[in-house]
Chain A
Amino acid sequence: MLFYSFFKTQVGQQVTVELKNDLAIQGVLESVDQFLNIKLRDIHVVDAERYPHMLSIKNCFIRGSVVRYVQLLPSTVDTALLQDAARREAQSTQQMSQTKAAAVQA
């Protein structure tokens, strides 16, 4: 849930989404959901020569599971805050799964 919340703060920012098939799409983040499915508007394909068939597309919906990276503008991200939040989330998730593991093995 952490990155869902984080990406919601990025709505309206310029991002570049790199897919697992190497396609990279730059655009404005319009929306994101809990599965990190991404909607971009005003897109343009980064390596347009390789992917000419997407020239006429302005908005797109990208399935979260095909995303490899989301590139962000450093000025829009407080990395220290994000690191801290990620650490806390990892700890709480670990604690939760340890509790559940103990319940099963008892």
Chain B
Amino acid sequence: MAVFLVSSVAAPPDARLAVAGTRVAADPPSDRAGATGTLYICESRLLFADAAGCGFSLRYQSIAIHAVSRDASDAPHLYCQLDCRFPGTPASAESDDDDEQFSELRFYPGDADELDAMFDALCACAALNPDAGDESEDSAGGGGGSDNAGDVIRQIDDLDPSALITSEDQLDRLTPRGRDVLAHLESVLEASAESGGHERFADADEEADSDTDGADP
């Protein structure tokens, strides 16, 4: 459910716009709407709270369309069509609405001049909240058969970056057999290092001059 009913609200810190004196109406009618309060258009969610702090919080992912409505037949308002059912609405008698699961909200600000600012703020915040599914589709190129690619790309994001840098073996992804092989190789390397000492890797000049093992010239 992308609409949360709240019973105590403090002014949110990420509010782009706060419009006091806003009346909200829902269609199908809801017992949770119809109050007058403050609409907070926040970067993370849409929040409406009346004087008592009761209201609702709405995720942008549920807002299918929003628009400014100016018409003689109704007071100027911000129209939002949701793709989910607004809580508190009675089960609709029309089967169409039940199947489609969509409802409408209208916000009537005290001052109609605020409408354009409200619309712009909603556009900006909706753009800040894309669907999670959309992002993975984009990076995988979308279309059928891209699910595997999407999964792969998510795995890449989860990987420790250092695992991808140079090692062909993907050290932290080794199978038990792989780990055995690595341990064996490492032991071979250690053994060869011990037997040769630093002399094996010393510069040619130093080797020719030195009489003792590993001593500084």
Which residues of A line the B interface, CB within 8 A?
1, 19-23, 25, 33-35, 37, 39, 43, 53-66, 89-90, 93-94, 96-97, 100-101, 103-104, 106
Contact = CB atoms under 8 A, between A and B. Distances in A.
A19 B140 CA distance: 23
Interface in B64-99: 64-71, 73-74, 79, 81, 83
Contacts of A1: 138
Interface in B140-156: 140-141, 143, 146, 148-149, 152-153, 155-156
Contact of B126 (A20, A54, A61, A103): A61
B156 A100 contact: yes
Interface of B: 27, 60-61, 63-71, 73-74, 79, 81, 83, 100, 102, 104, 119, 122-123, 126-127, 130-131, 133-134, 138, 140-141, 143, 146, 148-149, 152-153, 155-156, 159, 164, 168-170, 173
Given A35-B127, A37-B127, A59-B68, 10 more contacts: A20-B83, A35-B134, A56-B69, A57-B68, A57-B69, A66-B83, A89-B141, A97-B141, A100-B152, A104-B159
A90 B143 contact: yes
A96 B149 CA distance: 9
A60 B104 CA distance: 14
A53 B79 contact: yes
Contacts of A56: 69-71, 73-74
B141 A94 contact: yes
6 contacts: A21-B83, A33-B127, A60-B65, A90-B141, A104-B156, A106-B170
A82 B149 CA distance: 23
- Among B69, B131, B146, B159, the most chain A Cβ lie within 10 Å of the Cβ of B69
Main secondary structure of the interface of B (DSSP, over half): mixed
A65 B100 contact: no
B134 A65 contact: yes
B64 A21 contact: yes
Given A39-B123, A104-B156, A61 B65 contact: yes
Contacts of B83: 20-21, 66
Contact of B63 (A33, A34, A63, A106): A63
- Among A25, A33, A53, the most chain B Cβ lie within 10 Å of the Cβ of A53
A25 B79 CA distance: 15
B67 A59 contact: yes
Nearest to A89: B141
Contacts of A63: 60-61, 63-65, 126
A93 B134 contact: no
